[in-house]
Chain A
Amino acid sequence: MTGILGLYMFDERWRVGSFGRYGLLALQHRGEETAGLVTLGERFESVRGFGTVDEVLSDSRVRKLGGHLCLGQVSPYKCAPEDVAPLMVEGRWRVALILDGKITDIEGYRWNPELSYERNVVKAFSEDLSRYDNPIDAVKGFFEKCRGGFSFITLDGEGNMVAGRDPLGVKPLTLGKMGFDGGIVSSETCVMDTIGERTPVSPAEDVEPGKVMVFTPLSARMETVATCPRRAYCSFEYVYLARPDSYVNGIPIYRVRKRIGELLAEENPVDADVVIGVPATAIPFAMAYSNATGIPIEKGFEQTGRRVRSAMKPTQFERLKGVQLKLNVIAEAVRGKRVILIDDSVVRGNTMANIVYLMKEKGAKEVHVRIGSPHIVSHCPFGTEVPPEDELIGRHLSEDKIAEVVGADSFHYLSLEGLVKAIGLPKSQLCLGCFTGEYPEVVG
């Protein structure tokens, strides 16, 4: 996954660079490896590179950008320098492109294994451009040929911005506004809170799967390009990916995370003295668990250095470094106590083993681990960072065995049914592939 953002100001006098920078800052949790911003006024201008938003898109750099339109992306993937988004597609028109999720197939295009994923997409798109009379139709036409689970935003040299989602709606995309001045399209609604208008009623709505939001210098309209009876909303957005202050597919993330905590308490009750959540994602789980059981919640950890999403780091070294710096156990909170330790997910189990070990070392009598999602068994074809299947602890070991491996007194996942219940949508509308291995058939 990545975090994507498009800003369209109707008044050409705006300079939009800072809006893009702070909007991307609100999406930083969706990726810290690359950040990039392309603006368009009289011409395309860009800043992109490796690192966080603060590192790549400093105030002084973005303030130099002209233009009243922009696209921006943060990504958790390491890639070649030329593949740092936004991507530029050259052809009959110049089109800047950003993508969340993954295109798995493009009708009429043969993937070149010599090229990166990004280069393939750019090549396929640029070859396709010449078939259309105008850039808006070209974007719509190209993405109709794409299969997979993805959201996209494009900005062409004629000043049109097109944003859309695949017909299954795997990845989220929301639409917000800035008063009479402009529109915002982004992965999550927290962007609207950061740079949008200060309106007390939720200013965002979804771009529905199979639809595109088209902005032109003269109009803004939602168009339907494909219809599909089913949905396959990524369930991992609710568990981990999205920010708790965002709404995804109209559902408040915070509500789902609280519900998960309550269900964890219901599904595998255990007698204990304190509940501790692993920061930051699992805190709402732990709060709800505590509220439901009456077992007090404690702050179990203090972090060193700035906040990072350790699970999204590409190497084991960086993940462990992240965890060890982020999760210094507060001895006073655990000494002599039976602890219920809650985390959002377990991928390889290494970081969990590290945490349980640190907790016992600081004097916890018992550690009962509860995980706010089912066991991960499968690699995501739509780009969510799940490692190869032979690395997944949940695919190979039972809960009891995992408890022993990580050194916990008990270990339980949330059931699949529990997750579905917590999200509150019918199972048929969700993609639960990373927990079941079954992915929706991608359609065009």
Chain B
Amino acid sequence: MKVLLVGCASREMVIAEAFKRSVHEPRLYCIGPFVNPGIHRICKDTGGKYFRGSITDPNVVADHAELISADMVFVGPEEPNFRGIPDEVERRGIACVGAKRAVAEIEMSKASMRDLQWKYRIPGRLWYKKFKTFEEAIPYLKEYAESVALKPARQAGGKGVKVIEDFQVYLQEEKRELKYKHAKTIVERYMSRYGDMEYKLLIEERVWGPEYTLQCFTDGRCVKPMPVVQDNKHAFESDLGPETGGMGSISCGMNLRWGVDSDEAILTMEEVEKSAEIVWKMIDAIQRETGERYHGVVAGQMMLTSTWGPTIIEMYSRFGDPEGVNVLPIMKSDIVEICEAIVDERLSKVKVEFEEKATVVKSVAPEGYPEKRELSKGHPVWLDEEAARREGVGVYWASVDLREDGSIVSTGSRVVEFLGVADDVPTASEIAERGVGYVKLLDGWRLFHRSDIGSPTSLRRRMELAELARDIYKYKERKGILGKRMIWMPGKGLIEVG
């Protein structure tokens, strides 16, 4: 069996590793704009090959799939989904695991995602407004917007989102000013390179609570949830610093427990089930809307909010990165069997099981990431993979390029991710931490990571935060006003939204 993997980050490296573990012993091929040294080695080990090439051009990917007579194509990142790679591959008669253009809309267009959620009245829907131009948004920003999230209306590689809390009236002038500036930046900078979207700017109500990612396999008939993962978006220790694609993530059991035998958890099982139900409802809705089947991986990037309980922040049409690195290495089921079941739409009959383990992923990035990426590019990376593995650490190459001369250089994002697996999260965190000593940049440029991910303090805080959000949404549930927002407008009366 031959499998072509599309993509070259650490997320794709865990996918490659899962294929390598399969009893079906597939030959693994990979295509990506850069050469990931880890995937490169796995391809070689399994008798496959690595191609350097575009993954956003459907013909290039499909041609390679035909060239190697692939039995199956597995798409890792989101952008190939948006560009219709799965559509073209399938058109040429090759099985594909990856969301087609039409259904990947739930990630690609943040505005359509919200439209859909409201149209089908799916729980966990935030109040929002979409705009085609900056000018259109001005009156709204002036009059209504208080605490909001400003987002590019299209998934733009995770960039451009800004949450502005505007509740202290004495700081309102500065906050309003920044809202204008940022709304303008979204339209003029982040969205300028994408011509494929009518709406440019999305303004959503700001919510608080612990965030989490629920990743599922789906064949369009059911979803099979994986253990919930919690990502850490702040660049620096103590949850400081700008938003990144993720500096590391934790998981333990289905509901983010402290340890495998622990009763302490960030989520209740009921909340996990509700979240899975929401993700399924999104799949169901997009399929009804487009008439297209969803074959692949879907994830709800969610938050336990005081307004709704489980709430969708964004949808992913693929594994999260680094969240995928938490779950795939502890998946007991065979990925080949899952993929075949997805393609044949008989996923409900296949068991998708994971080891009961705590996992912690820590990303290491060159300084400059995430805001000044040019500075984080082009640094030669040294990594003693063997030594790290001997210490029990999982090692996953991320945004690097293996050059012809054997050197490995950073490409502007996280360079490597370390995985610790143990019976509780703090121990898994300590294991992942050991890996950090085995990587450096040969030109002396500074690397950074977060040692606090999965620490007892950080876990405790997230549990406390969840409890506070839970108390409030449970109160609303009891009152029958979950998701409802009521405002008394003096002189106008009661305004209800939701």
> CA–CA, A200 to B467, complex, Å?
10
Chain B positions within 8 Å of A19 at CB level:
171, 174
Q: Assess the B174–A220 pair: CB atoms within 8 A.
A: no
> CA–CA, A15 to B147, complex, Å?
18
Query: B360-384 toward A: CB 8 Å interface, digit per residue (1/0)?
Result: 0000000110011001000000000
Q: Assess the B236–A221 pair: CB atoms within 8 A.
A: yes
Interface-located stretch among B105-113, B161-169, B263-271: B161-169
In the complex, whether A107 has a CB less than 8 A from a CB of chain B is no
Interface-located stretch among B238-246, B273-281, B414-422: B238-246
> CA–CA, A417 to B174, complex, Å?
49
In the complex, whether B402 has a CB less than 8 A from a CB of chain A is no
CB nearest neighbor in A for B306: A200
> CA–CA, A114 to B367, complex, Å?
46
**Quick one: given A10-B242, A22-B170, A180-B242, are A220 and B236 in contact (CB under 8 Å)?**
yes
**Quick one: given A18-B171, A198-B208, are A205 and B465 in contact (CB under 8 Å)?**
no
Q: Assess the B167–A177 pair: CB atoms within 8 A.
A: no
**Quick one: given A10-B242, A180-B234, A183-B240, are A199 and B448 in contact (CB under 8 Å)?**
no
> CA–CA, A145 to B173, complex, Å?
42
Query: B156-192 toward A: CB 8 Å interface, digit per residue (1/0)?
Result: 0000001101011011011001100110000000000
Interface size for B (C-beta < 8 A) is: 38
> CA–CA, A170 to B236, complex, Å?
27
Q: Assess the B174–A14 pair: CB atoms within 8 A.
A: yes
Q: Assess the B171–A195 pair: CB atoms within 8 A.
A: yes
In the complex, whether B233 has a CB less than 8 A from a CB of chain A is yes
In the complex, whether A137 has a CB less than 8 A from a CB of chain B is no
> CA–CA, A179 to B236, complex, Å?
12
In the complex, whether A230 has a CB less than 8 A from a CB of chain B is no
Partner of A219 from B170, B174, B233, B448 at Cβ < 8 Å: B448
Q: Assess the A13–B208 pair: CB atoms within 8 A.
A: no
In the complex, whether B446 has a CB less than 8 A from a CB of chain A is yes
Q: Of residues A18, A179, A197, A217, which shows the largest number of chain B Cβ atoms within 10 Å of its Cβ? A: A179
**Quick one: given A198-B208, A218-B372, are A15 and B177 in contact (CB under 8 Å)?**
yes
Q: Assess the A22–B171 pair: CB atoms within 8 A.
A: yes
CB nearest neighbor in A for B167: A198
In the complex, whether A129 has a CB less than 8 A from a CB of chain B is no
In the complex, whether B468 has a CB less than 8 A from a CB of chain A is yes
> CA–CA, A223 to B437, complex, Å?
17
In the complex, whether A201 has a CB less than 8 A from a CB of chain B is yes
In the complex, whether A222 has a CB less than 8 A from a CB of chain B is yes
> CA–CA, A189 to B331, complex, Å?
44
In the complex, whether A4 has a CB less than 8 A from a CB of chain B is no
Chain A positions within 8 Å of B147 at CB level:
198
Chain B positions within 8 Å of A198 at CB level:
147, 165, 167, 208
Query: A192-215 toward B: CB 8 Å interface, digit per residue (1/0)?
Result: 001101111100010000000000
CB nearest neighbor in B for A177: B240
Q: Assess the B237–A179 pair: CB atoms within 8 A.
A: no
In the complex, whether B461 has a CB less than 8 A from a CB of chain A is yes
Q: Assess the B173–A63 pair: CB atoms within 8 A.
A: yes
The majority secondary structure among interface residues of chain B is: mixed
In the complex, whether A175 has a CB less than 8 A from a CB of chain B is yes
> CA–CA, A76 to B174, complex, Å?
29
In the complex, whether A245 has a CB less than 8 A from a CB of chain B is no
Partner of B368 from A194, A195, A218 at Cβ < 8 Å: A218
Chain B positions within 8 Å of A175 at CB level:
238, 240
Q: Assess the A221–B448 pair: CB atoms within 8 A.
A: yes
> CA–CA, A177 to B239, complex, Å?
8
Partner of A200 from B170, B238, B465 at Cβ < 8 Å: B465
Chain A positions within 8 Å of B242 at CB level:
10-11, 180-181
**Quick one: given A22-B170, A218-B375, are A180 and B165 in contact (CB under 8 Å)?**
no
In the complex, whether B464 has a CB less than 8 A from a CB of chain A is yes
Within 8 A of B (CB), among A311-335: none
Chain B positions within 8 Å of A15 at CB level:
174, 177
In the assembled complex, how far is the CB of residue B460 from the closest CB belonging to chain A, in whole angstroms? 9
Q: Assess the B241–A220 pair: CB atoms within 8 A.
A: yes
Q: Of residues B147, B168, B234, which shows the largest number of chain A Cβ atoms within 10 Å of its Cβ? A: B168
Chain A positions within 8 Å of B235 at CB level:
219-220
> CA–CA, A201 to B371, complex, Å?
27
CB nearest neighbor in A for B171: A18
Chain A positions within 8 Å of B241 at CB level:
10, 180, 183, 219-220
**Quick one: given A22-B170, A218-B375, are A177 and B238 in contact (CB under 8 Å)?**
yes
> CA–CA, A220 to B247, complex, Å?
14
**Quick one: given A201-B468, A219-B367, are A180 and B162 in contact (CB under 8 Å)?**
yes
> CA–CA, A221 to B238, complex, Å?
9
Q: Assess the B448–A180 pair: CB atoms within 8 A.
A: no
Chain A positions within 8 Å of B464 at CB level:
201
Chain A positions within 8 Å of B174 at CB level:
14-16, 18-19
Query: A1-28 toward B: CB 8 Å interface, digit per residue (1/0)?
Result: 0000000001101111011001000000
**Quick one: given A13-B181, A13-B182, are A220 and B173 in contact (CB under 8 Å)?**
no
> CA–CA, A180 to B375, complex, Å?
20
Within 8 A of A (CB), among B49-66: none
Q: Assess the B465–A220 pair: CB atoms within 8 A.
A: no
Q: Assess the A179–B163 pair: CB atoms within 8 A.
A: yes
Q: Assess the A201–B165 pair: CB atoms within 8 A.
A: no
> CA–CA, A195 to B457, complex, Å?
24
A–B complex contacts, Cβ < 8 Å, 21 sampled: A11-B178, A16-B174, A22-B168, A175-B238, A177-B240, A180-B163, A180-B243, A181-B242, A183-B241, A195-B171, A198-B167, A198-B208, A199-B465, A200-B208, A200-B465, A201-B468, A205-B457, A217-B372, A218-B368, A219-B241, A220-B241
Contacts A198-B167, A219-B367 supplied; 18 other A-B pairs, CB < 8 Å: A10-B371, A13-B181, A14-B178, A22-B170, A175-B240, A177-B238, A195-B168, A200-B465, A200-B468, A201-B464, A205-B457, A218-B375, A219-B241, A219-B448, A220-B235, A220-B237, A220-B240, A222-B238
5 smallest beta-carbon distances between A and B, as pairs: A220-B236, A218-B367, A180-B243, A200-B468, A201-B465
